A = this chain, B = another copy of it.
Amino acid sequence: MKLSEIARKLSCRMEAERDVEITGIAGIEEAGPGDLTFVSNRKYIQHIRHTRASAIILGPDVPAVAVPSLRTPNPYLAFAHALELFHTPVEPERGIHSTAVIAADATLGPDASVGPFTVIGSGCRLGARATLYPHVILYPGVTIGDDAVLHAGVIVRELCEIGHRVIIQNGSIIGCDGFGFAPVGDGTYYKIRQTGRVIIEDDVEIGANTTIDRAAVGDTRIRRGAKLDNLVQIGHGSQVGENTVLAAQVGLAGSTRLGRNVQAGGQAGFAGHQEVGDGAIITAQSGVHGEIAAGAVLSGSPGFDNALWRRTVIALPKLPEMQRRIRALENELERLRGVLQRNKVE
């Protein structure tokens, strides 16, 4: 495909002395002749000089380059669209596979697709064009929205609701029992029945092997557009706000309420029973508890203001040296006191 045609389809401005033929998309370091690449992360601008790509997608603030380029306000988004011009996804065979076990009273929307060995419980409802890959399991009473895609091995527990266009990667568990046990008093625990549902709103994507708990009472809710990575734990009764992004291995203890557009880095943890304001950022491996203001950026475990934390972690390895300096100060001060006493000043 000609670069000019790509420019047109992606609504980019072409900056090139002559048109070039593009045959694929690649990362800036791996790209070769025929490839279109992109730079969005500023860290990679240095690679532009060395790229062997035939063309490059650039943001508005990058200086003009020798390589034919496509200008756009959002190069990462343009890259996403460019990929779709060159890549045909591997789609599952559609239809209702003969081996699926589907309850007689389940209802399937038009063109819903159900893979081999998938199990659909009593009273489940699938939206139009919903796709259940092989080995998906829906417990009774589950609702799946239009155009939702549940990859192989996804399990949705009883009565949970999955919205439209939701994508769930493999092996994730939606609606497993919350971790609720009442201490009986003799050291043992009594299991609390978990009667709440998990609601996954529209346009959410959930990664692989992630677990989202149902609560004893009330719903656990992942709001519209939120993105959860792999191996994430969402505790019972938690709420994840619209367009909030949780990286891999993040954990939310029970009754955590995240606002909109919150971001949590990998392996971050939330202690639960807390509100986190819109747009807050919790960096990787940090752990936070209590109320968190909108827009706060927190780091560390327990987390505090990121700017202060950055200075703190630079100072941290000086701690043994600081101990020595305090000891030296104490000794010197002791010596001076002696000098003053010998001189009858003190």
Contact = CB atoms under 8 A, between A and B. Distances in A.
Interface of A: 25-27, 30, 41, 43, 73-74, 76-77, 79-80, 83-84, 87, 89-90, 92-93, 97, 99, 101, 115-117, 119, 122, 133-135, 137, 139-141, 151-153, 155, 157-159, 167, 169-171, 173, 176-177, 179-185, 187-193, 195, 203, 205, 207-209, 211, 213, 216-218, 225, 227, 229-231, 233, 235, 237, 242-243, 245, 247-249, 251, 253, 260-261, 266-267, 269, 271, 273, 284-285, 287, 300-302, 304-305, 308-309, 311-320, 322-323, 325-326, 329-330, 332-333, 336-337, 339-340, 343, 345-346
Q: How many copies does the complex hold?
A: 3
A36 to B, nearest CB: 10
A333 B209 CA distance: 60
The binding surface of chain A is classed by DSSP as: loop
A137 B119 contact: no
Given A25-B217, A308-B317, 15 more contacts: A79-B216, A80-B190, A87-B195, A135-B137, A151-B176, A170-B173, A171-B211, A208-B211, A284-B287, A300-B316, A312-B316, A316-B319, A318-B323, A325-B326, A345-B345
Contacts of A159: 90
B320 A330 contact: no
Q: Give the 7 A-B residue pairs with the shortest CB-CB distance, closest first.
A: A90-B158, A176-B208, A77-B182, A211-B230, A233-B248, A80-B192, A311-B320
